[in-house]
Amino acid sequence: MTLRIPDSPGLRDLGITNWLVCKVVALRQRVPRAHLFTTLGQHRRLMWSWLPFGGVLMRGGKLSTRDTELVILRVAHLRDSQYEMQHHRRMARAVGIDDATQALIFEGPGAAGLTDRQRALLTGVDELLQTRTLSDATWAQLAEHLDRPRLIEFVMLASQYDALAATLSALRVPLDFDE
């Protein structure tokens, strides 16, 4: 795979602030380079616009961390985003979503052993990514488990990670972990 954006930009490409952020993120993730950040960091203003938005959706929102990781894993699976899978399989394990539950997430909403809430979330992700909207039936199913702010956040979370998967693919961002 030929990279489209340099994967190890220097201080000149990133600027001092983005360079430092990339170093800190890489240290926290225990990787030599956090390629998503070194890629987006080459568009300085864009990275600083995306960071707070992505941060709120991933850890600062109203959805539980488990629900958030379930949604992200399903999007990553459907979009075959290995970058997202590498990071979020680890993050999901850290919040109690074991490999067996992850396998159910990848199997989809029809998998035996899912809770009604998990089934509703997976159905919503599948439909949203396939049709770019939600049917009234799926909306009603989600509304049994999520209040209005969480419904809004669910749509934004799935859409943001769909867009991120497309960005990672189109820019050919390399994986962070050697697996």
Residue 125: name the closest of 97, 92, 161, 100 by CA: 161
Q: What percent of the chain has pLDDT over 90?
A: 87
Average pLDDT (31-45) is 93
Average pLDDT (146-162) is 98
Higher pLDDT, residue 7 or 152: 152
| pLDDT, tens only, 95-153 | 999 999 999 999 999 999 999 999 999 999 999 999 999 999 999 999 999 999 999 99
Residue 178 identity (one-letter amino acid)? D
Could you count the other beta carbons within 10 Å of the beta carbon of residue 168? 21
Q: Is the pLDDT of residue 9 over 90?
A: no
- Report the pLDDT value the prediction gives residue 108, as an integer from 0 to 100: 98
Residues 60-86 as b/e (b if ≥16 CB within 10 A, e otherwise) read ebbbebbbbbbbbbbbbbbbebbbbbb
Q: Is the pLDDT of residue 82 over 90?
A: yes
CA dist 157 and 149 (Å) reads 12
Higher pLDDT, residue 3 or 164: 164
Residues 134-159 as b/e (b if ≥16 CB within 10 A, e otherwise) read beeebeebbeebbeeebbebbbebbe
Beta-carbon contacts of 35 under 8 Å, excluding residues fewer than 6 positions away, are 7, 83, 173, 174, 175, 176
- Report the pLDDT value the prediction gives residue 90, as an integer from 0 to 100: 94
- Report the pLDDT value the prediction gives residue 1, as an integer from 0 to 100: 72
